[in-house]
Chains A and B, each alone.
Chain A
Amino acid sequence: MTRVAPAPARPQPETHPTQWVRRTGNVMSIVRTLCLALAAAGLAAPIAGAQSGPLRIVIEEGVIEPLPFAAPTFIAENPGAAEIAASITRVVAADLAGTGLFREIPASAFISPVTSFDAPVAYADWKAINAQALITGAVAVGSDGRINVKFRPYDVFSGTELGAGMQFGGGQGDWRRIAHKVADQIYSRITGETGYFDSRVVYVSESGPKDARLKRLAIMDYDGANVQYLTDSSTIVLAPRFSPSGDRILYTSFETGFPRIKLMDIASVTSRALAELSGNMTFAPRFSPDGGTVVFSLSQDGNTDLYAMQLSSGQTTQLTNAPSIETAPSFSPDGSRIVFESDRSGNQQLYIMPAGGGEATRISFGEGRYGTPVWSPRGDMIAFTKQNAGRFHIGVMRTDGSEERLLTASFLDEGPTWAPNGRVIMFTRESAGAGGAAQLYSVDISGRNLKPVPMEGSASDPAWSPLLP
């Protein structure tokens, strides 16, 4: 897939790029705030009559009224492009609506058709159906089969483009990725956040009965499309984790009969054991942010501690030395610290220590047990699994343990993973009973928009990739 280029100049008065909120740095003064979380104060942000300025959703806590948008089917610039243009439009709209921050206005409500990518926008017709944002696009398929997608997002009520139009090119097989990239641009321009749609999830696909579950590694787009299996079901595999560059996976396999960390190259689907280590079990691996180090748990004689291994040299350092269980380590994005769980206090709690080991500071103090901490890619939060009073929760807290917020509650929720922009968390939810099965769910860090990931069959242990290049 080739890279972004600006869309051709448009025969219309252009917006001034310097007015774009993300580029100016003078954000708050010119933001036309939409749907800000003022419900608690009994205030509803007026929308139609708001003063001019870039269209903007500020992602905050509280109830959000989704922003209505219209995405007329992208124009097919040649006859062979019609089907793929329609498919791309659907994925763009699904990405946006799937965040819970946007609501798609159905095409049946449209007053004026969009017949040309470069024709002037009939803003009044889109205002009349209360479309706050309008997305137009055009798709061409070249004689070599390559596709080219142009798009322009508009702020209907201020009558301006939301930043410059762009275009993406790629092979036919890339059409979903291109659609995700378009949606990421739109999401980013309206929310001020980095997008997360052009990303993948590696997970464990599950089948078979509960007492003889078959598990295999699989990878898919963040929205459940394009599933590819990476291992067969001949042995138990657990908890895959992406490298920072997204091209490799660490996971735990019972292939030798004993839990051992393996490292897989995704492109070639080849794995190797991480290293020959003493001890009878290595598990819970995770990469450092620079990809050069793996931090993991190693169990020896019934005691589990944390270790770090330099991938280039294989040199291994013991980071903790305690008779308690130390596991589920996760680096801070700057690589300086590690959050992990330990039962040194008598039950599972969260601790932070320097990346090289040393004194650990406990950060979880609420009721119940805390496990599987994962540092947010933004660095400001830690997601975790909490067990209390017979229920499981996915929650987030500040890195000092303050502002703990539980996002979910169920019979068994566990194993959070962050979207690349740190705004959404995916996790495993398992249902109870003999017929119980695991499914992947996602939820905003505000606790909104809890929903299953649309996919076939059972799945567990998701790990979200970085945003793809």
Chain B
Amino acid sequence: MGAGMTTAIKALSEIEVVSTEANNSERDVVDKPTTTVALDYGEIVLSNDEKIRMYGIPGQRRFDFMWAILKTRAEGMVLLVNNDAENPIAEMLAFVEDFRELCYKGGVVVGVSRSEIAPQPTTGEFARALAEVHPELTVPIFTLDPRSKDQMQMALLTLIVNLEMRETFGEAGVQQA
């Protein structure tokens, strides 16, 4: 919670975002007035018959039923990690485990947010921790500001390129790139 998921979807979407915000009763955990309790939905239109549909889902484990619904249908995922959280690397690793199948088909990019407030751990430390647990996994890791359309587009484009290379060349193609 607090990584900027709703903000990121709003930055990227070309339609009015469908939001499911509720009053946040965990202000002691993350001090923000509302939190997403189902999903945020936005779209980017690519052509008359192609669009990217973006679903932002809450990170709190109590909403893991939403993860189960979306992870079977999603092509890829931008995993936003709040660097100001108590243990952001552990959080990333837990999500990689929960979305293992998506990660192993090259469908994940990690975006580390709030690094201007909490510069540690660095993206290098995230990458090393990931490589220790999943040495065979290639996951791009960025610091980013979810409010920045440019930075979010960069993360999304990286994800799309990764997925397309997998589709075209298989796993080896991605690792050579």
A binds B: no
